[in-house]
Amino acid sequence: MKYIDSAQVEKKMGSRLLKNMFAKNIFLLATLIGLVVLVVLIYRVFADSIGWIDFNFLTNKLSTDPEKAGIMGAITGTLWLMLVVAPVTLFLGVGTAIYLEEYAKKGKLQSFIQTNISNLAGVPSIVFGLLGLTVFVRGISLGAIVLAGGLTMSLLVLPVVVVAAQEAIRAVPQYLREASYGMGATKWQTIKNVVLPAALPGILTGVILALSRAIGETAPLTVIGIPALLIPLPDGIFDKFTVMPLQIYYWTIDAALVAEYANLAAATIVILLLVLFLMNSIAIFIRNKFQQRF
């Protein structure tokens, strides 16, 4: 006597297994869609930029003549912007994270600040642009200078740094702190000499990721009023400036007038993507090389 009728099982299972196989392939296909788009996008951008990226393109100033136009202004503008955003976000982000992780008592204030930060992360970037326009550009009359743009960007990417720094600080095991207290160190000495050095790789990774977000961000800067054709190079944080994403934006919308602007936009995108790729590689390198596992 047979307890299992294998023919019967086969009959029942056949269609279900077929469905499973079919679904698996559909899921794989869906996953590949993202990949295909990525490849097409990068291919298109590179194809459009061929012949447009050369030494002159990197070192020339802006020009209405597509043959002469270069992105030196946008590159220096981006660098100056980062010189504002990096220290400001590092200071504010790490300060906030230390407070939340080490000093704040679990309670209303701490959870209020925490909720507030996660809400800020969800605010559209263009709203930050309006904040920057109202407070920094017009409120304290800075004008559309690097400092105003940098402070706006800093507030925008602050949640990224805070969350990354918090995670890094939280990952430092308690016994390291206790050992430090045991040696007679005070709380601040412990944070300064034990916690922060151990959390540094995680914090730096977060800061670099935040900076790469700031480098690619366009919307807040369109709002604070940066001219489409700014020829002089910025010499400091009090000068007017433009950045790569904005240059891409203006060239893309003006491509209806001068077709070659589309190539200039593509060429700038290639440079921007290379910069972002480099920054992310550095972040990954720091994470893998210096991150200690406790």
Partner 1 sequence: MEKTFGNEEKNLNVQELIAKNKSTVSFGNYVEKLIPKALLLIATISILTTLGIIITLLTETIEFFKDVPFVEFFTGTVLKPLGQNAQFGVLPLLAGTFISSGIAMIVAIPIGLMTAIYLSEYASDKVRRFLKPMLEILAGIPTIVYGFFALTFVTPLLRSFIPALEPTNILSPGIVMGIMIIPMVASLSEDAMSSVPNSMREGALALGATKLEVTWRVVVPAAISGIVASFVLGISRAIGETMIVTIASGSTKNFGFDVTQSMQTMTAYIVEVTGGDAPAGSTLYYSLYAVAMTLFVFTLIMNLIARYISRKFREEY
Residues 149-168 that bind partner 1 (CB under 8 A): 155, 158-159, 162
Residues 51-80 that bind partner 1 (CB under 8 A): none
Q: Among 44, 175, 232, 285, which residue interacts with partner 1 (rule: CB under 8 A)?
A: 44
Q: Does 179 bind partner 1 (CB under 8 A)?
A: no
Q: Does 30 bind partner 1 (CB under 8 A)?
A: yes
**Window of 60-68, 75-83, 99-107, 194-202 that interacts with partner 1 by CB under 8 A:** 99-107
Radius of gyration of the chain (CA): 26
Toward partner 1, which CB reaches closer, 15 or 55? 15
| Binding flags for partner 1, 214-233, as an x/- string (CB under 8 A) | -xxxxx--xxxx--------
CB-based contacts of 73, cutoff 8 Å, min separation 6: 61, 62, 230, 231, 232, 233, 234, 241, 242, 247
**Window of 58-66, 111-119, 193-201, 231-239 that interacts with partner 1 by CB under 8 A:** 111-119
> Both tokens of residue 24?
């698996």
CB-based contacts of 16, cutoff 8 Å, min separation 6: none
| Binding flags for partner 1, 263-292, as an x/- string (CB under 8 A) | --xx--x--xx--x---x------------
CB-based contacts of 57, cutoff 8 Å, min separation 6: 69, 70, 71, 267
**Window of 34-42, 73-81, 172-180, 197-205 that interacts with partner 1 by CB under 8 A:** 34-42
